[in-house]
């Protein structure tokens, strides 16, 4: 993957993220979010993390975005599209996020990073082995967590008779 | 044996009985008061006789511990005290007898005699006290009784106001007296009068102390700055004016100066102020008395003038002259007031312009009135002449020409206004239809007795003479003072009986002066504007200051806290995103601070 | 022998508990019981006075009837009670006024049970404050006084009672918080950590700390004494409090401030007292003159007497600030006399209030005819209050002035002006109430009944006795004042 | 080679966009979308740092320890769980309050 491919992906991430945050129609936002996630998956591939990229596409774009679409459709409201979607405090929040952005940009541009020492890209086997040995305990917890989330979602979502 | 301290106890006993059971005693309370007064008089005679056999002052016991030193009270027995004791109890007895007649139809008859007995007790006590504190106790007691008695007919607001005015004015003088007493105590270390003869040369501090003590005397004897209360004190019943505001209480100031004479003598500056104040009051009061039209007010101003003369006599160094005049003045001034009382009792009005030709209707009162007037005017055989002559003599011999002139002018004016009083009230044709009848016997007998004394008191001579060696009367001085008195009488005769044109026109010309004198030099009004009004405004101001500023501050603190809590409450909007915004803002600041950007 | 001081303090508390158990409808028995309790307290205090040996003196062992038991041992807090020349007159004053005010509490009609419970609690607090010699115990009793007084003013008071009660409470509490800080710092600064007042007096603090602690304590007491800037709670509290409560408020609570000054501030922080004495004297004179001025402009009877109390306590402050034996004697005697006189005055105001239901001076006039006894008592107490020589008011003021004359002659002159003003407003009050033509509205007033007379006559008797023979009270307090002044002789 | 800063800048931008979204979106789901953005910004950093600073022997020979990627994995899992629960809550609120405007949710205030 050539370096040249990174920049367009980064640009698309930024654009779609901007759109996802400012568009009036929530459905479109969800789609823009999907585009952002896809571009990020691309970046993962560039960063020698193919497995993560795939997971990103599968879980995020496939799972979570579809969930969002379902939620949006369930709560769709006729006059939603017409009313202004940003709350009246968008000016102060814009200012604050602007300040935050400048601060981070200055920080990152100022400090000289150590010269990158690239190791061999990890293969999937190494990843799996690493996952099962060092991170066995968190792995189990994650499954427990996901189970709890599922049960919770079902209980809350149940329509009371 | 010591009986002097029983003298004030008898009237005090009468006071206690009268105040509690007086109402039931009715006339009995009057007899009780007179009886105790007579008892005191007899005891005074006994004390006088004891004094002649050599008994002296004695102590009663410790009253208080001050600065570790015991302060004990005692009784002083010396010629001055005995003279005062005799005068007070003698005149008091007759005035009490007189007031039985004067007050017999008054609803609060017994209370009147209760207050008079209390007054007698405090006055006698004042004279017997041997140190400043005991004197101050009775001094205020006397002031208190004068307050009660001036405001005796308290239905009349004027009487109530006059009572308060008297008490407050004397109290101003007493504050000076208190400070002077403390100053004296801290320099000489004693309150007792007996320690004055150990005083060495004049010290500035002691001079100030003497002047401050004299301030107390000014307040009580109604001298120049603090004299405003005496004319208003005439609101009280006339026997009170006779007893308190002529013979005894006002003389307390002169008694005080006489008692502390060694202190004053050691400080010529203080003596000088006494003389000057005396002179001013004498002249000023005499001029006012000339034009005043109320019979009691004329006598009141004449009292102020004669007291000024006594102070002048003391001020020029004549202890015997001053005290002698005090004695004679007590007699004839009491007599004059009682005559005025019986005239008012008979006629009902006090304005001399409406009186006239009373001589034929009220024989005894008129005769005694004339005797008293002549004595006051200083016509030779009568008492006033001898004592006034001695004052003039002392003033002349001690090289005080100005004060001598003032004294002479005062005696001229005195004889003039007394003559004016006689001619307007007794002689001439009655100016308005008055059915005057002679007062009952109970009132006229005291008049006769007092008139006898007013006539003969002069020959007794000053009781302190042998003590201080008074000058023998020089014939020239006697002649001069007689001439002055007679010219005064003659002038008044020409104006009021003969209505001569020349003196009339003379009188008419100085209308402006007349107006000034009529309004008593506007002193009352000046005090009102300069002192009373600003003080009232000050109090009102301080009260509003207290309410607004000090209270305001306190309530202000409460309001500020309430306001702040109000503001803080509004920040809790309830919207999640506001809180998030504040949080993010906090994080941003934290980051900036951590990264030191 | 029985712990006489503890019985004196906790007897009212016992009474309060008994009343607490009684049903509220037994009003008559509640009144009688509380009267009995206060009567016994008075009797105990009288026999305390009898057994008190005036000769015992000197700085160290001046305390008598001492009770010294460990209380919170690990905090070095001792249950330390004692009485000496300084606290004896005030304890007797509290017991006497307590009894008389209880007697005059018969006009309280509603919620009698709570009233007397708070009343007896108040008694406990007051007596405790005068007897406690351990700073913490002193502070506890100081606070105990606050709560019942707040309720007494707040519930049975006049129209603006809540405002007055809250103001009183916050004012005093603010002061006492400072005192608490002072107590704690004194505890930690003193070498053998102790709260005991006598030991604290011996352990020397350095001047800077002494001044800070003196000011802390002084502010707490200044609120109670009412010194000039902190006095605005007094008129409101007095106007709104019912008569018996305002008798106690004026008669005793003001003395707790003065007592605190003489017991805590002066002996423990000697050097600071030296330095700050002129300031105290200045404040005293401001109190006298300012109190007199404001009292002059009052139209409300009780407010006028309240401001006259401010003026009187100014003399106490001036006497204490003179740091001389006579000055201290004048201060303590001044407090005792002021308690008796102002207590009597408030009882008289109460008598008039029960008849006229108003305190506006202009509404009255010419009462001497319809109420001769009342006129006599009011005149007598007003004269005592304006310092007529021969009555007790004069003796206290005279001693304070003599004491203060040496160090501050000019202040005594200013106090003299205050005296003249005092005469002015008292006489104008008498003029408006008693003299003048009989006000038609006041015709139906009947003279004082026996119960009211019984409350007033003992006070007038004491005023006369102390006025004519002050040595009777003075020799009780002579030794204690000698010891106190001895500290400042060096 | 793309310098590491670029990745950091990218994730910073994504993060700020997410924050802005969370602060201003009036629609609850909009907020959730913004949160997803924030989480992904974190992921990018994790993976990028893992790649650039992977080995600990400094020579580039030893295999990089894939801790960054594993961490990213977990983040994705948790993000999934979070958004599931979030969405269900929103639906419950919607069913109750009939509207998704954040201004409406201030029951806590009273």
Residue A38, domain extent: 1-83
Q: What is the mean pLDDT of residues C118-136?
A: 93
> Which residue among B65, B137, B138 places its CB closest to the CB of C478?
B65
Express each pLDDT in B304-348 by its tens digit: 999 999 999 888 888 888 888 888 888 888 888 988 888 888 888
Express each pLDDT in B110-147 by its tens digit: 888 999 999 999 999 898 888 888 898 899 889 889 99
* A116 in a structural domain: no
Express each pLDDT in C301-331 by its tens digit: 888 999 999 999 999 999 999 888 889 999 9
Statement to judge: residues A12 and A75 lie in one domain: yes
Statement to judge: residues A54 and A126 lie in one domain: no
Question: Between chains, do A138 and D69 touch, taking CB under 8 Å as contact?
Answer: no
Cβ of residue A116 closer than 8 Å to a chain D Cβ: yes
pLDDT at A151: 93
pLDDT at C89: 92
For chain A, the chains sharing at least 3 beta-carbon pairs closer than 8 angstroms are: B, D
Query: Which domain CATH number covers A47?
Result: 1.20.120.1200
- Residues of chain D neighbouring A132 (CB-CB closer than 8 A): none
Which residues of chain D have a pLDDT value below 50? 110
Q: Which residue of B lies nearest to C286 if distances are taken between CA atoms? A: B542
Express each pLDDT in B56-108 by its tens digit: 777 777 777 777 677 778 888 888 888 888 888 999 998 998 888 888 888 88
pLDDT at B470: 47
Question: What's the pLDDT band for B420 if we cut at 50, 70, 90?
Answer: confident
Asked if C466 and C473 count as a contact pair (C-beta separation under 8 A), the reply is yes
Question: Between chains, do C389 and B176 touch, taking CB under 8 Å as contact?
Answer: no
pLDDT at C109: 85
Question: Between chains, do B588 and A103 touch, taking CB under 8 Å as contact?
Answer: yes
Q: Which two tokens stand for residue D53?
A: 């600073």
Beta bridge partners of C196: C134
For B26, list phi and psi in degrees, rounded to 5.
55, -115
Q: Which two tokens stand for residue B239?
A: 């026997």
Q: Is C165 exposed, middle or buried (0-12, 13-18, 19+ CB in 10 A)?
A: buried
Question: Between chains, do A86 and D24 touch, taking CB under 8 Å as contact?
Answer: yes
pLDDT at D41: 93
Break chain D into its structural domains and give their ranges: 4-109
Q: Percentage of chain D with pLDDT > 70?
A: 79
pLDDT of A146 strictly over 90: yes
pLDDT at C314: 92
- Residues of chain C neighbouring B186 (CB-CB closer than 8 A): 405-406
* A61 in a structural domain: yes
Q: What is the mean pLDDT of residues C135-142?
A: 92
SS3 C357: coil
DSSP 8-state symbol, C79: E
> Which residue among C325, C420, C431 places its CB closest to the CB of B175?
C420
Q: What is the mean pLDDT of residues C176-181?
A: 92
pLDDT at B466: 53
- Residues of chain D neighbouring B572 (CB-CB closer than 8 A): 109
Cβ of residue B588 closer than 8 Å to a chain A Cβ: yes
> Which residue among B574, B577, B584 places its CB closest to the CB of D109?
B574
Interface test with C, best of B69, B160, B162, B205 (most C CBs within 10 A): B160
For residue A136, the tally of other CB atoms under 10 A from its CB is 10
Which run of H or E residues covers position C70? strand C64-72
Question: What's the pLDDT band for B380 if we cut at 50, 70, 90?
Answer: confident
Give which of A66, A70, A71, A78 is closest to A33, Cα–Cα. A66
pLDDT at B467: 46
- Residues of chain D neighbouring B581 (CB-CB closer than 8 A): 23
Residues with Cβ within 8 Å of B252's Cβ and at least 6 positions away in sequence, in order, are B123, B126, B139, B142, B217, B220, B221
The average confidence (pLDDT) of chain D is 81
pLDDT at C120: 94
DSSP 8-state symbol, C377: H
> Which residue among A3, A101, A145 places its CB closest to the CB of D16?
A101
pLDDT at C390: 83
d(C-alpha C217, C-alpha C234), whole Å: 19
Q: What is the mean pLDDT of residues A45-61?
A: 88
Q: What is the mean pLDDT of residues B35-60?
A: 85
* A143 in a structural domain: yes
Instruction: List Cα–Cα distances, B176 to A74, B170, B208, B429, in angstroms.
Output: 99, 10, 11, 50
DSSP H helices in C228-371: 233-240, 243-248, 254-260, 266-268, 270-296, 301-321, 325-356, 367-370
pLDDT at C39: 94
Question: What value does the CA radius of gyration of chain D take, rounded to a whole number of Å?
Answer: 19
Question: Between chains, do B577 and A100 touch, taking CB under 8 Å as contact?
Answer: no
Cβ of residue A40 closer than 8 Å to a chain D Cβ: yes
Q: Which two tokens stand for residue B162?
A: 């006059």
Q: Which two tokens stand for residue C258?
A: 């003065």
Interface of A with D in 120-139 (CB under 8 A): 120-122, 126-127, 130-131, 134-135, 138
Q: Which two tokens stand for residue C26?
A: 């037994």
Q: On the CB side of B561, how many CA atoms lie within 13 Å of its CA?
A: 5
d(C-alpha B430, C-alpha B424), whole Å: 9
D4-109 topology per CATH: Helix Hairpins (1.10.287)
pLDDT of A84 strictly over 70: no
Express each pLDDT in B384-413 by its tens digit: 888 888 888 888 888 888 888 888 899 888
The average confidence (pLDDT) of chain B is 84
Which run of H or E residues covers position B277? helix B268-291
Asked if C137 and C264 count as a contact pair (C-beta separation under 8 A), the reply is no
Question: What's the pLDDT band for A116 if we cut at 50, 70, 90?
Answer: low
- Tell me whether chains C and D touch (3+ CB pairs under 8 A): no
pLDDT at A14: 92
pLDDT at D68: 83
pLDDT of B257 strictly over 80: yes
Question: Between chains, do C474 and B64 touch, taking CB under 8 Å as contact?
Answer: yes
What's the domain count of chain A? 2
* A104 in a structural domain: no
Nearest-Cα distance to chain A for D17, in Å, is 6
pLDDT of B469 strictly over 50: no
Question: What's the pLDDT band for B154 if we cut at 50, 70, 90?
Answer: confident
Question: What's the pLDDT band for B5 if we cut at 50, 70, 90?
Answer: confident
- Residues of chain D neighbouring B576 (CB-CB closer than 8 A): 102, 105
Question: Between chains, do A114 and D25 touch, taking CB under 8 Å as contact?
Answer: no
> Which residue among D22, D105, D110 places its CB closest to the CB of B580?
D22
Chains A, B: CB pairs < 8 Å: 27
Statement to judge: residues A1 and A79 lie in one domain: yes
pLDDT of C443 strictly over 80: no
Q: What is the mean pLDDT of residues B256-283?
A: 88
DSSP 8-state symbol, A81: T
Cβ of residue D102 closer than 8 Å to a chain B Cβ: yes
pLDDT at C280: 92
* A94 in a structural domain: no
Interface test with A, best of B573, B574, B580, B584 (most A CBs within 10 A): B584
pTM value? 0.80
pLDDT of A1 strictly over 80: no
d(C-alpha D36, C-alpha A40), whole Å: 12
Question: Between chains, do B577 and D19 touch, taking CB under 8 Å as contact?
Answer: no
Q: What is the mean pLDDT of residues C145-161?
A: 90
Asked if C332 and C485 count as a contact pair (C-beta separation under 8 A), the reply is no
Express each pLDDT in C48-104 by its tens digit: 998 888 877 655 567 888 888 888 888 888 888 988 888 999 999 999 999 999 999
Question: Between chains, do A33 and D33 touch, taking CB under 8 Å as contact?
Answer: yes
Question: What's the pLDDT band for C359 if we cut at 50, 70, 90?
Answer: confident
pLDDT at B19: 83
Give which of C474, C326, C342, C488 is closest to C398, Cα–Cα. C326
Higher pLDDT, C122 or B542: C122
Interface of D with B in 20-49 (CB under 8 A): 22-24
For C269, list phi and psi in degrees, rounded to 5.
-110, 70
Q: What is the mean pLDDT of residues A152-159?
A: 86
Q: Which residue of D lies nearest to A99 if distances are taken between CA atoms? A: D16
* A140 in a structural domain: yes
Express each pLDDT in C207-253 by its tens digit: 898 999 999 999 999 999 888 888 888 888 988 899 999 999 998 98
- Is 0.85 exceeded by the ipTM? no
- Residues of chain B neighbouring C405 (CB-CB closer than 8 A): 182-183, 185-186
* A1 in a structural domain: yes
> Which residue among D17, D55, D95 places its CB closest to the CB of A119?
D55
d(C-alpha B97, C-alpha B444), whole Å: 10
Statement to judge: residues A128 and A65 lie in one domain: no
Q: What is the mean pLDDT of residues B551-575?
A: 82
Nearest-Cα distance to chain D for A77, in Å, is 8
d(C-alpha C206, C-alpha B199), whole Å: 47
> Which residue among D19, D103, D110 places its CB closest to the CB of B575?
D103
Cβ of residue C293 closer than 8 Å to a chain B Cβ: yes
Q: Percentage of chain B with pLDDT > 90?
A: 6
For C224, list phi and psi in degrees, rounded to 5.
-80, -35
């Amino acid at each position: 993957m050539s370096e040249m491919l990174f920049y367009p992906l980064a640009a698309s991430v930024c654009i779609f993220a901007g759109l996802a945050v400012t568009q009036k129609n929530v459905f479109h936002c969800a789609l823009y979010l999907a585009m952002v996630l896809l571009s990020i998956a691309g970046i993962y591939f560039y960063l020698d993390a193919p497995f993560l990229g795939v997971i990103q596409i599968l879980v995020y774009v496939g799972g979570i975005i579809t969930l969002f679409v379902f939620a949006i459709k369930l709560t769709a409201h006729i006059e939603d599209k017409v009313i202004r979607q940003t709350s009246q405090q968008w000016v102060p929040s814009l200012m604050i996020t602007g300040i935050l952005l400048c601060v981070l940009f200055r920080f990152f541009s100022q400090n000289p990073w150590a010269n990158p020492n690239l190791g061999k890209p990890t293969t999937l086997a190494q990843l799996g082995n690493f996952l099962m040995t060092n991170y066995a305990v968190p792995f189990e917890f994650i499954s427990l967590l996901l189970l709890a989330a599922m049960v919770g979602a079902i209980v809350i979502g149940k329509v009371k008779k | 044996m010591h009986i002097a301290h029983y003298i004030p106890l008898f009237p005090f006993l009468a006071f206690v009985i009268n105040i509690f059971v007086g109402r039931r005693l009715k006339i009995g309370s009057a007899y009780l008061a007179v009886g105790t007064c007579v008892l005191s008089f007899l005891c005074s005679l006994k004390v006088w006789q004891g004094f002649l056999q050599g008994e002296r002052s004695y102590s009663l016991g410790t009253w208080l511990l001050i600065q570790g030193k015991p302060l004990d009270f005692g009784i002083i027995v010396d010629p001055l005290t005995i003279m005062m004791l005799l005068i007070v109890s003698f005149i008091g007895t007759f005035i009490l007898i007189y007031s039985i007649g004067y007050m017999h139809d008054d609803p609060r008859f017994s209370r009147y005699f209760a207050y008079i007995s209390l007054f007698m007790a405090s006055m006698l006590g004042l004279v017997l006290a041997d140190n400043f504190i005991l004197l101050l106790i009775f001094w205020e007691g006397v002031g208190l009784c004068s307050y009660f008695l001036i405001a005796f007919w308290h239905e009349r607001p004027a009487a109530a106001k006059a009572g308060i005015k008297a008490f407050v004015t004397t109290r101003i003088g007493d504050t000076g007296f208190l400070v002077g007493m403390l100053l004296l105590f801290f320099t000489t270390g004693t309150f007792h009068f007996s320690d004055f003869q150990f005083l060495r040369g004049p010290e500035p501090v002691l001079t100030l102390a003497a002047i401050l003590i004299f301030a107390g005397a000014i307040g009580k004897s109604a001298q120049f700055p603090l004299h405003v209360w005496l004319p208003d004190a005439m609101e009280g019943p006339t026997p009170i004016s006779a007893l308190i505001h002529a013979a005894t209480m006002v003389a307390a100031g002169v008694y005080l100066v006489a008692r502390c004479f060694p202190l004053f003598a050691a400080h010529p500056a203080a003596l000088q102020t006494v003389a000057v104040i005396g002179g001013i009051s004498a002249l000023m009061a005499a001029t006012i008395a000339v034009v005043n039209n109320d019979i009691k007010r004329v006598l009141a101003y004449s009292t102020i003038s004669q007291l000024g003369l006594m102070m002048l006599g003391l001020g020029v160094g004549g202890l015997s002259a001053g005290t002698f005049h005090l004695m004679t003045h007590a007699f004839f001034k009491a007599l004059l007031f009682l005559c005025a009382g019986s005239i008012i009792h008979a006629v009902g009005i006090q304005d001399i312009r409406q009186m006239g030709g009373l001589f034929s209707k009220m024989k005894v009162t008129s005769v005694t009135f004339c005797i008293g007037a002549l004595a006051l005017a200083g016509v030779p055989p009568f008492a006033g002449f001898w004592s006034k002559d001695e004052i003039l003599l002392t003033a002349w011999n001690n090289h005080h020409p100005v004060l001598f002139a003032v004294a002479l002018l005062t005696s001229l004016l005195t004889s003039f206004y007394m003559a004016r009083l006689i001619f307007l009230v007794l002689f001439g044709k009655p100016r308005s239809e008055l059915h005057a009848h002679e007062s009952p016997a109970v009132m006229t007998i005291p008049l006769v007795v007092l008139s006898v004394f007013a006539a003969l008191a002069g020959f007794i001579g000053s009781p302190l003479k042998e003590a201080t060696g008074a000058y023998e009367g020089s014939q020239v001085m006697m002649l001069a003072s007689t001439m002055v008195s007679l010219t005064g009488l003659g002038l008044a005769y020409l104006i009021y009986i003969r209505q001569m044109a020349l003196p009339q026109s003379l009188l008419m010309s100085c209308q402006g002066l007349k107006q000034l004198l009529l309004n008593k030099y506007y002193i009352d009004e000046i005090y009102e504007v300069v002192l009373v009004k600003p003080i009232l405004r000050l109090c009102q101001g301080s009260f509003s200051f207290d309410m607004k500023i000090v209270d305001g501050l306190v309530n202000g603190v409460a309001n500020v806290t309430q306001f702040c809590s109000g503001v803080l409450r509004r920040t809790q909007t309830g919207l999640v995103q506001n809180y998030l915004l504040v949080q993010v803002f906090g994080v941003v600041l934290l980051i900036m601070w951590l990264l030191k950007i | 022998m029985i712990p006489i001081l503890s019985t004196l303090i906790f007897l009212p508390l016992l009474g309060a508990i008994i009343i607490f158990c009684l049903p509220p409808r037994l009003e008559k028995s509640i009144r009688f019981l509380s009267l009995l309790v206060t009567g016994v307290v008075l009797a105990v205090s009288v026999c305390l006075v009898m057994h008190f040996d005036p000769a015992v003196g000197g700085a160290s062992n001046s305390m008598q009837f001492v009770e010294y038991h460990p209380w919170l041992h690990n905090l070095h807090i001792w249950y330390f009670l004692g009485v000496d020349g300084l606290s004896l007159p005030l304890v007797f004053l509290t017991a006497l006024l307590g009894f008389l005010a209880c007697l005059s509490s018969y006009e309280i009609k509603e919620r009698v049970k709570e009233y007397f419970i708070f009343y007896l609690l108040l008694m406990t607090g007051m007596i405790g404050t005068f007897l406690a010699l351990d700073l913490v115990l002193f502070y506890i009793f100081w606070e105990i006084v606050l709560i019942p007084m707040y309720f007494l003013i707040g519930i049975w008071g006049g129209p603006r009672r809540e405002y007055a009660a809250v103001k009183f409470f916050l004012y005093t509490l603010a002061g006492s918080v400072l005192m608490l800080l002072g107590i704690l710092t004194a505890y930690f600064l003193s070498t053998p950590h102790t709260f005991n007042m006598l030991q604290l007096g011996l352990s020397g603090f350095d001047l800077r700390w002494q001044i800070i602690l003196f000011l802390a304590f002084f502010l707490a007491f200044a609120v109670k004494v009412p010194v000039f800037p902190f006095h605005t709670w007094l008129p409101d509290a007095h106007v709104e409090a019912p008569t018996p409560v305002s008798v106690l408020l004026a008669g005793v609570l003001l003395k707790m401030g003065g007592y605190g000054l003489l017991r805590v501030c002066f002996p423990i922080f000697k050097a600071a007292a030296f330095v700050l004495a002129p300031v105290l004297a200045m404040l005293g004179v401001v109190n006298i003159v300012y109190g007199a001025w404001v009292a002059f402009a009052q139209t409300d009877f009780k407010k006028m007497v309240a401001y006259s109390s401010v003026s009187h306590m100014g003399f106490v402050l001036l006497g204490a600030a003179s740091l001389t034996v006579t000055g201290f004697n004048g201060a303590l005697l001044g407090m005792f006399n002021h308690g008796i006189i102002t207590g009597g005055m408030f009882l008289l105001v109460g008598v008039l209030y029960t008849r006229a239901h108003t305190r506006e001076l202009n509404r009255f006039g010419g009462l001497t005819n319809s109420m001769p006894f009342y006129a006599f008592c009011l005149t007598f107490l007003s004269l005592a209050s304006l310092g007529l020589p021969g009555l007790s008011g004069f003796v206290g003021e005279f001693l304070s002035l003599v004491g203060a004359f040496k160090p501050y002659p000019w202040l005594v002159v200013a106090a003299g002006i205050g005296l003249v003003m005092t005469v002015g407003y008292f006489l104008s009050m008498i003029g408006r109430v008693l003299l003048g033509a009989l006000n038609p509205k006041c015709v139906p007033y009947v003279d004082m009944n026996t119960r009211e007379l019984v409350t007033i006559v003992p006070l007038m008797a004491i005023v006369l006795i102390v006025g004519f023979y002050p040595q009777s009270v003075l020799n009780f307090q002579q030794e204690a004042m000698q010891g106190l002044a001895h500290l400042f002789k060096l | 080679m793309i310098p590491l800063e670029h990745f950091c800048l990218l994730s910073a931008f994504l993060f700020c966009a997410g924050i802005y979204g969370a602060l201003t979106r009036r629609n609850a789901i909009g907020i959730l979308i913004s949160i997803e953005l924030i989480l992904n910004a974190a992921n990018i950093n994790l993976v990028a740092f893992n790649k650039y600073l992977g080995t600990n022997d400094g020579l580039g020979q030893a295999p990089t320890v894939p801790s960054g990627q594993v961490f990213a994995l977990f983040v994705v899992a948790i993000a999934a769980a979070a958004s599931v629960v979030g969405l269900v809550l929103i639906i419950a609120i919607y069913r109750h309050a009939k509207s998704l405007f954040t201004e409406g949710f201030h029951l806590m205030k009273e």
